[in-house]
Chain A
Amino acid sequence: MSKFKKKKKGVPAVNTSALPDIVFMLLFFFMVTTTMRETELKIDSPRLPSATEIKKLEHKSLVSTIYVGKAKDTKYGTGYNRIQLNDKIATADDVPAFILRAREDVAEKEIPYMTTSIKADRESNVGTLTDIRLKLRDVNALKLSLSTTKANE
C-alpha cells in the first residue's frame, strides 16, 4: 500500500544555511581585532633580545616605533645599524623630524605620554642606540621602551 511506503533511506542533508552566519561572526571578530601593519619593513625583521623585567606598552596610538637592524637592500651595507623611520631607511638625524611629525597626530595634552619604542636587533650596537637617545632627548621625547620578547625564567 502506498500509504505505508517505506521511507527513503540515506542520511538527510545537514542544514548548512546557518554556516554563513557563523563565518560572518568570525569574520567580524577578526575585522575588529585586526591592526594592519602600517609600515613595511625595510630591514630584516629584528631579532629582539629577550628579558624578563618587561612592561607592556599601552595606548598603541601613542607609540611611535623606530626599527634598527640590517637593511634588506644591500646597498645600505650589511651592518646591523640601519635605522628605519616610517617606511624608509634614515639616519639618527632624522629622528627629531619623525617625532615631531608623530606629535601632530595626537592631542596636545597627550604628548607627554607618548612613548618611543625601539625595536633593535640584538646584534646592533649600543652606539646607534645612543645616537637615537640623544636625538630623542633633543626633542624632549623622554619615554622610551626597548622592545624585547619575554624570556622564560
Chain B
Amino acid sequence: MAKRDLPEINAGSMADIAFLLLIFFLVTTTMDVDSGISKKLSEKPPPDYDPPKIKEKNIFEVNINRNNELLVEGERMELRNLKEAAIKFIDNGGGLGNSSEDGTPGKPCDYCKGEKSPTSSDHPSKAVISVQSDRLTEYGTYVVVQDELLKAYTELRNRLSKERYGMLYTELEEQYKDNRKNEELKKKVEDIRNAYPQIISDAEPTSAN
C-alpha cells in the first residue's frame, strides 16, 4: 500500500494573520491615564445644620465672575498674582492655631514666614480659601484658579518640607507612594500635610439671571 503522507500545512500566511490582529489591537489600544485635580466634596449637611462661625479674617475670598475675571478679597486681581496672594494669606500666621481636642489652647504658627498681620489669617490650619464662581463662569477658568491655589499650598509645603526633612514635599510624597508601608515616611508626609492643610471650599455659585 502506498504510504499516504499528510501534506504539510502552509504556515506562510500565519504572520499575515498575526499582523492583522496586531494592527487591530494597536489601533484600539488606549494607554492614557486619567489624571486630574482631586477634590473631596463635603457631606450633605443635615437640615438644621448651623455652619461654624469663621472669622472674616480667616477667609480668603476668591470670586470669579461670568466674564472670567477675578475678585480677590474685594479687589480685582490678575490670575498670575493669585498664587502670591494666597501664599501671603495662608502663611500669615497672625494668631493661634486650632485648640487641640483636650482643650489646650492652640499654638502660634512657628513655621510661618508671613507678615503676622492681625488682619489676615491666624494660622494655616484655620485659613479657609473660599472660591465662589458664577454659574456662567467658564470651567477652564475655574480649574485654573483651583490649580493656582493648589500651587500655593504645594509651594508652602515644599518649603517647610525642605526645612524639616531636607527634601521637597513632592519628592517625599513620591517616595511614600512607592513605599506605602514605610511608617517614617508616612509620619513625615502627614506632618507636612497637617502643617498646611488644604482647605478650599466651593461656595454655592451665584445664579444671577
Interface residues of A (CB under 8 A from B): 16, 19-20, 23-24, 26-27, 30-31, 33-37, 49, 51-57, 60, 63, 65, 68, 115, 117-118, 120-130, 133, 136-138, 140-151
Contacts and interface: CB of A to CB of B under 8 A. Distances in A.
B30 interface: yes
Nearest to A148: B36
Given A53-B147, A127-B207, A146-B146, A20 B18 contact: yes
Interface of B: 11, 14-15, 18-19, 21-22, 25-26, 28-31, 33-44, 64, 133-140, 142-144, 146-147, 150-151, 154, 202, 204-205, 207
B37 to A, nearest CB: 5
B44 A33 contact: no
Contacts of B41: 133, 136-137, 141-144
Nearest to A57: B34
Given A133-B41, A137-B41, A148 B35 contact: yes
A27 B18 contact: yes
Given A51-B143, A122-B139, A146 B25 contact: no
B146 A33 contact: no
Contacts of A144: 38-41
B43 A140 contact: yes
Contact of B139 (A115, A121, A140): A121
Contacts of B142: 126, 129
Contacts of A115: 38
Main secondary structure of the interface of A (DSSP, over half): mixed
A54 B139 contact: no
A53 B154 contact: yes
9 contacts: A20-B14, A36-B28, A37-B28, A125-B135, A125-B136, A126-B137, A130-B202, A142-B42, A148-B36
B14 to A, nearest CB: 5
A126 B36 contact: no
Contacts of A146: 36-39, 143, 146
Contacts of B154: 53
Nearest to A81: B139
A30 B22 contact: yes
Contacts of B139: 49, 68, 120-126, 128-129
Contacts of A55: 35-38
A146 B40 CA distance: 11
Contacts of A33: 29, 31
